[in-house]
Structure 1
């Protein structure tokens, strides 16, 4: 079936990929802009060599966070998969971390509960030693060694978000969007024309990959929050994380036995007695390496599809909780919260000091963006296809998707992708041919339904470049996995491309907040690449795991010197294609039709309709004017 996408991009991948020897500097480490300014804000930042630290956020908002775990409205099991005579996939509570724009003054003075010092949650969720052991089991490392490693590197690392901070109620200032976000924090500007004095923020759901947690992507989630998004990072209890703790509900007096465990889930007696149970990473039976590209057995379809089904259930439960908060029922949610004092993984502060009245109508709940990394991106695809079940989802973003667990598109056209879709690959995953072909098929599927779709690759990146691991363990990622992109710049590129995409396919105040906060790098206007270079392609047994850099020391040193010399010039050095490759994008007519259909012609101005025809010389001058 023909579809109105860029045919040149499709043709180059319908057959075996060819090496592009004509692309200028294809095999070199690309020219790159500096990461956005994130100056250190504390002694912990300046002494980062003692413990890994995460960079502050670059957007114009301060960021707050809160951990919420509440009982599911509909507890149930998924599939008939059992281990030790118990269902392994059962939904009893939903746990997520909420990252959001915080009010002016967050982080200074007393916190909302009256404490002298503001609190920031640790990056490794509590109980930290137990999580470290879970990572050891996931990686096949002895527990003592795993605990020692995390204790020496990131056990004390903290998120950059202030716990339980009040939500922002202001618009950031107007002015040149290239001004560093940290210089615009704690400043208020006028609302855009036609918008209320207090903004309503757009909402994003984020789904982690295998081995991930709700905090493993805190830099991506926090960056979006600093640019005006409320991000719900769900911790999946489907056996895809290293280790997670599910608290059981308690009675009015706090005792476990006062509240019977739901008959729809099953527990061992000792779990009921202690009030929680543990879920470790679930390896497929007789096929523990089903994620490997070289695995002849292929993916464990039964397990992975069941896990995705449970993840969708967790999305629904988290959406229900957010609906209650935005309606003004946050107090009731706080009373149900199982992450306070006395609960496993909880803290003494819990949701202490939160003024829930400030959350009423603070964010949009009828239009959501769903985003995810790797296996989480596969979850996003299934959410987009289930349009009747997820009517509130209006766009999807897939970061380095693992395509093997995804089912083929249904015969029923209603169960295909009808929403705009953005895919951002790492260069390491781009060389995985069968996976790349699956991603391209998703772009075609969306385009056939009339929805705009984009697919690009961040040059020099590896699979963990969209998580916190590359920020905390940057030397390992560089020396062993051969990543060449600056880890903070990789986050910048992913967030910038995502915001440009959402600006172009959304409407209302959600779009207004993006336009006010966005630093437009025009990444999605990058020209299509006919053929993908494979000069960084590793050996087949290392596909998707790492890159190959020839003459590494000389190549890296030469690139570093060239960047410093060329950055001294104002123009003629940088263009977006130096840092990303564009594989697929919608034709201008399709994008125009989508905007007119979803935004309404009265909401479109001349700049909207001519967004893809900006003079290239103006683009270059604008991009190179930033530091």
Structure 2
């Protein structure tokens, strides 16, 4: 007796395609893989990585008198500050919980992207939600949620062998990086960059900004109430601000969030971790009481990408200070349309452009953007006599430091023109950041920071054959260096000292 017709094998192209699609869906389901995208890879440093979401209440303050036209509520009132901590974790401890790359509710983020596209309605929001769920709905961040910080009793002896110079209590202390995301992004857009740094011994606080520049964020109060925050355009505010005033207000709000993040980190380090956990509306951080004295607040650096880089430059004015105790800045692709770039900076600074950011001629406040950024680095170096670098990561594009190319490697490489391997792109940013953080610790220039200027302008190579042949091959492959302190170190106060 033969099989029913529906079960008979028919080797048509349609049959093969449908079978392949069905098999792919089954494999994704069985192995917990996202449809039509790639898993985020595990981190490569020596430490396991933990993550904690902290939403801390703030003393309410209004950065502006602007209100939403449709509700009359303040548009730039700071209620809480939300950030994700990435940190070196106790080895091989696994959490029962995981963080999704797109936090729930996914429909909130989908609506936010629809608003950015200016097609926000029930139908398009539903289409965006389905598309986002299909692409990344099940993508998880590969960090263990709410596990202990590395250096508890069970790891003390091993750590002390590796770090005999640590404090007398033997508990390791970790430098801190506060990270500010770009436009149309959120605290989860850079988890690989943040997590890779944590796996190398740094604590990273990735802020979620509620200035109206992200696709969507849920403000959760301690009383259980929630407020959705979306993109806010000037036309949706009263009185309607001029674009430059709107950008300045958004950057001021971001700076307030940066300062509140520093305040919370300081409270944790001073022994108030239990109070921070109790007030955390995200209900994470059960071991924060054990973080007392574990953060190197004297080695705190501010970093940002795109709009976040513009905000970081702004917040570095006057640093280090009580509210912003930053001893260095890491500036990635500073914005081309997010307002003027502050050059009043008195701490060591590393600026990195993607190739797409350096290559494209963009007029920025009457000058080429590349020239403006280069002038910022040169002023810090030549006038303030602080170490400063300006470099281009070859083969990268503006999204290369984000998670997006890792999740959609073929699509993003094709649409953005990136030529670097997507994972290598992130790792090059991580390695340069690690070199910068080590420099702040001991004043020794390593890796790409050890090199002299190779390209005063993008793609204008001034090296002779001998220098090109002698250069480290990885640096030669991945970097162009536009501004760097001379190894001869001609500036008073820069030679042979640990940077202040």
Partner of 1:59: 45
SS at match of 1:593: coil
Please show how residues 282-321 of structure 1 align to structure 2 within 5 Å. 282-285=232-235, 300-321=243-264
Q: Does 1:576 align with 2:475?
A: yes
Q: Shift in Å at residue 391 of structure 1?
A: 5.1
Could you tell me which of 135, 139, 163 is aligned with 1:153?
135
* Equivalent in 354, 359, 365 of residue 426 of structure 1: 354
Q: Report the Cα distance in structure 1 between the residues aligned to 2:262 and 2:270, rounded to whole angstroms.
A: 12
1:137 aligns with one of 80, 103, 115: 115
Partner deviation per Cα, 1:328-376 (whole Å, 9 max, x = no partner): 2111111111124xxxxxxxxx44xx23342111111233100000010
CA shift, 1:502, in A, is 2.0
Give me the whole-angstrom Cα distance separating, in 1, the residues matched to 2:337 and 2:113.
Answer: 23
Indicate yes or no: 2:327 matched with 1:384.
Answer: no
Match for 1:245 among 187, 203, 218?
218
**Aligned equivalents of 1:524, 1:44: Cα separation in 2:** 47
What is residue 232 of structure 1 aligned with on the other side? 205
Task: Determine helix, strand or coil for the equivalent of 1:285.
Answer: helix
Identify the match of residue 222 of structure 1 among 179, 184, 195: 195
The C-alpha deviation readout for 1:436-482, integer Å capped at 9, x for no partner, is: 12211210221110111111111111111011111112111111221
Which structure has the higher relative contact order (CA within 8 Å, separation 6+)? 1
Please state whether the residue corresponding to 2:375 is helix, strand or coil: helix
Aligned equivalent of 2:4: none
State the match for 2:292 in structure 1. 360
Which residue does 2:377 correspond to in 1? 443
Q: Aligned partners of 2:499 and 2:118: how far apart in 1?
A: 50
Whether 2:65 is the aligned partner of 1:121: answer no
Distance 1:408 1:223, change over 3 A: closer
1:268-283 alignment, distance < 5 Å: 275-283=225-233
Cα offset, 1:232, TM superposition: 0.6
How many angstroms apart in 2 are the aligned matches of 1:488 and 1:471? 6
In 2, the alpha carbon distance for the partners of 1:190 and 1:524 equals 29
Q: Distance in 2 between matches of 1:393 and 1:215?
A: 23
- TM-score normalised by L of structure 1: 0.65
CA–CA distance in structure 1, aligned partners of residues 456 and 499 of structure 2: 32
User: Tell me, what secondary structure is at the counterpart of 1:86?
Assistant: coil
Displacement, 1:285?
3.4
CA contact (8 A) 2:354 2:392 kept: yes
The reply to whether residue 402 of structure 1 matches residue 402 of structure 2 is no
Aligned residues: 441
TM superposition shift of 1:590 = 5.2
Q: Is the 8 A contact 1:202 1:364 kept in 2?
A: yes
Residues in 2 aligned to 1:338 and 1:379: alpha-carbon distance in whole angstroms: 26
Alpha carbons 1:403, 1:438 under 8 Å: kept = no
Given candidates 78, 81, 90, the residue that maps to 1:94 is: 81
Query: Unaligned stretches of 5+ in structure 1?
Result: 1-41, 112-117, 174-185, 251-255, 257-274, 288-298, 341-349, 411-415, 535-570, 601-627
Deviation at 1:199, TM superposition (A): 1.4
Q: Whole-Å Cα distance in 1 between the matches of residues 33 and 252 of structure 2?
A: 43
Q: Report deviation, 1:409.
A: 5.3
User: Are 1:593 and 2:462 counterparts?
Assistant: no
- Specify the SS of the correspondent of 1:365: strand
How far apart, CA to CA, are the structure 2 residues paired with 1:217 and 1:312?
Answer: 19
Q: How does 1:535-550 map to 2 (within 5 A)?
A: none
Matched residue of 1:587: which SS?
Answer: coil
Task: Structure 2 unaligned segments of length 5 or more: list them.
Answer: 1-27, 362-367, 461-469
In structure 1, the partner of 2:434 is 499
Q: Call closer, same or farther: CA 1:591–1:522 in 2, change over 3 Å.
A: farther
User: 1:328 is paired with a residue of what secondary structure?
Assistant: helix
Partner of 2:277: 334
8 Å contact from structure 2 (residues 107, 125) kept in 1: no
- Root-mean-square deviation over aligned CA pairs: 3.1
- Determine the C-alpha separation between the residues in 2 that align with 1:446 and 1:473: 37
Q: Secondary structure at the match of 2:91?
A: coil
Q: Is the deviation greater in 421-430 or in 475-484?
A: 475-484
Task: Map Cα deviations across residues 27-86 of structure 1 (whole Å, 9 max, x no partner).
Answer: xxxxxxxxxxxxxxx9988956655311111110000001111210x2111223332133
Cα distance change on mapping 1:47 and 1:239 into 2, 3 Å: closer
CA contact (8 A) 1:104 1:187 kept: no
